[in-house]
Structure 1
Amino acid sequence: MSKSQQNYLDQVAQRLHLTADAQSGILFGMQGGLHMMLMRSTSNQNFVSLVFSLTHSGQEPDAAEIKAFVKSNKLIVNYSIRRSRVEFILKPRFGSFKQIDQLEQVTGEVVSLLRTGGYQSCCQNCGQTAETDACIMAGVPSLLCDSCYQQLGHNQEQIQQESAGKPENVLAGVVGALLGCLLGVGCIVLLGQLGYVAALSGIVLAVCSLKGYELLGGRLSTKGIVIACVLMLAMTYVGYRLDWAITVAKYFEASLTDSYRAIPYLIDEEILDGGVYTGELIKLYAFTLIGAIPTIISSVKNRKMAKVTYRMQSQRAVNSTPEF
């Protein structure tokens, strides 16, 4: 975390009377009798998310009421409701010192609405109005009662132990990654025939090859990521050449197999423009990397975060094992 971000969090925490978690940078605390978390929005990194876990007379939050409020408030961009968990996406920019006043204003307005509506804080897992703590559960910011924290922590520990003991079948993983890449090849050909070269092809290749390896290989290790990346690069070329072969086959009314094999000959004979062919291939590789690299980074990050469980109050992270 940069010094500027730390200063921003300190100022917001002071103005809103919240506490900053040293590890995650999430602000947590209570306003108007409601437990809340304030953090950088995952759906849009520029915005701020205000998170509650709420119940109203034992029922889940009234979606219509919250929707109407969001529409009437210009400082709220969007919202989401998942059972008792309510997340408001606020308009003030995360990290903007000039908009802290707006952040304080809209937070107060949200809390006032919820208090007036008779909402109470509850555990986002069991829905009970027991005392809740802000915590990180398997990498996810959560508001949980002590009982659910303990239970989910034990469950997560067991899952991780089972995953760690699960053997990796490299051969099956390669088959899975290859099958995933075929979907990416289909995307390249489809978009190519429509006249587009898009990062979507890279995203499809990355996600499908990585997920394919994990699904059939048992787990996604660093070795699996490397194998999937090699297949990604190889299948990007196959997909690109296949796209050109389809165009050649249509033009010369030849078979697809003959057209695929004839691509180098047609370039040597200058029937196809070699410069255009190479330039478009480089462009596709660039888009593939643009799509694949963030996906891989996100996958690695999620794997690491899935092992993180701790209570924010303690500001102590214990990998794989919660505080028991």
Structure 2
Amino acid sequence: MKPEYLHNIATDLGLQFDSEARVMYGEREGFLLVIEGTETKNVFNISFSAKQGSEGDLIEEGKDIWDDLKTQSKAIHAISFNDYLTTVVVKGGMTKGKAVETLWTAIQDIVDFLLNHQFVQVNAATGEEEPIGLYQIGDTIYLIDDATFQDYHAEVQDTVQAYDDRKENFLLGIVGAVIGVIIGGAVALLVARLGYVSVLAGAALGFCTIKGYEILGKKLTKKGVVVSAILMVLTVLLVNQLDYILFLMDEYALPFDVSWSLFNEETFKGNFPENYFLELGKLAVFTLGGAWISVQSALEGKKNRAIARKIA
């Protein structure tokens, strides 16, 4: 979901919005709530860190009481737990107005539940009842105290430094990218043979190529991205060509080498199949578009790896 859309929802709910982490947050009756959009429009996650004051650390036993909340609230779709962090899934509806209305209902139901069952806010990492804040470390949001954040921050710095200290192996990176592009290209060819073009196939191509370079090359650099991009463009051209060649094999019962030679001879003469460039264009737009999404995701992940900051 776009940051502007999330910001408008946060404003309507009386919450704060952090554009960098793309999260809405605010305090209700002593509980810090964090709302994140998901990949599905108008589906949101509401997270908070709490435990029952009377039950201490008996988190496993306390999970059963959440069934009542899920059953009674029309706004709550699912509830999951990660130690002391609870995440509630809310389906907001088709429109922004309905999303705001459903989120408001879910927030009220959650807060009423926490108060009625004598929950207290705690550090999500330790379970200790103490003042906490909202922190971003990498791509993840944490409800922890400053001391825990400093420990996590040190770990992040060590991880980032270790990655930066790796020596890139450019040649092995190319080998890895070639292996990845073969795997991703096979997926794209399979989808093309079924008569479709798909952004998801392109995303698979991009992910496999970039990840292949990073695994064997030890680290992802601008050189690796350029090499991977060139390989992906060449792969799209090859996939389009192989799609037509496999069609000739099926249609005229020709062996692969004959179909390959026949197709190439005709195209070199300028005798292209009907709609050849249209099909190539569609394949390039959708497949390379999906691949670029994967490349952007990899680059953002590399950039976000070093993030460690307090939001609130």
TM over 0.5: yes
* SS of residue in 2 equivalent to 1:274: coil
Rounded Cα–Cα distance in structure 2 between residues aligned with 1:160 and 1:196: 40
Which deviates the most, 283-292 or 96-105?
96-105
Q: Which residue number corresponds to residue 49 of structure 1?
A: 45
1:257/1:200 Cα in 2 relative to 1: closer, same or farther (>3 Å)?
farther
Match for 1:288: what amino acid?
T
Match for 1:31: what amino acid?
R
Q: Which residue number corresponds to residue 309 of structure 2?
A: 310
**Per-residue deviation at 1:7?**
6.2
Q: Which residue number corresponds to residue 38 of structure 1?
A: 35
1:126/1:198 Cα in 2 relative to 1: closer, same or farther (>3 Å)?
same
Q: Which residue number corresponds to residue 293 of structure 2?
A: 294
What pairs up with 1:208-223 in 2 under 5 angstroms?
208-223=208-223
Gaps of 5+ in 1: 314-324
Match for 2:279: what amino acid?
E
Q: Give a deviation string over 1:193-218, Cα, whole Å, max 9, x none.
A: 33333223211111110111111111
Are the counterparts in 2 of residues 139 and 309 from structure 1 also a CA contact under 8 Å? no
Rounded Cα–Cα distance in structure 1 between residues aligned with 2:168 and 2:94: 41
Q: How big is the alpha-carbon RMSD for the aligned residues of Structure 1 and Structure 2?
A: 3.2
TM-score with structure 2 setting the length: 0.83
Match for 2:85: what amino acid?
R
Are the counterparts in 2 of residues 133 and 145 from structure 1 also a CA contact under 8 Å? yes
Which deviates the most, 254-263 or 67-76?
67-76
**Per-residue deviation at 1:50?**
1.6
Match for 2:122: what amino acid?
C
Match for 2:49: what amino acid?
S
Q: Give a deviation string over 1:202-253, Cα, whole Å, max 9, x none.
A: 1111111011111111111222112111111111222222232233233443
Q: Which residue number corresponds to residue 195 of structure 1?
A: 195
Match for 1:37: what amino acid?
V
TM-score with structure 1 setting the length: 0.80
Are the counterparts in 2 of residues 47 and 94 from structure 1 also a CA contact under 8 Å? no
Q: Which residue number corresponds to residue 282 of structure 2?
A: 283
Match for 2:13: what amino acid?
V
Rounded Cα–Cα distance in structure 1 between residues aligned with 2:123 and 2:94: 27
Rounded Cα–Cα distance in structure 2 between residues aligned with 1:184 and 1:47: 30
Q: Which residue number corresponds to residue 113 of structure 1?
A: 113
Q: Which residue number corresponds to residue 149 of structure 2?
A: 149
Rounded Cα–Cα distance in structure 2 between residues aligned with 1:299 and 1:285: 20
**Per-residue deviation at 1:97?**
6.3
Rounded Cα–Cα distance in structure 2 between residues aligned with 1:69 and 1:294: 38
Which deviates the most, 222-231 or 253-262?
253-262
Q: Which residue number corresponds to residue 86 of structure 2?
A: 86
Q: Give a deviation string over 1:52-97, Cα, whole Å, max 9, x none.
A: 1233431336555435533543323444433332222334479946
Q: What is the number of equivalent residue pairs in this alignment? A: 307
Identity of aligned residues (%): 22
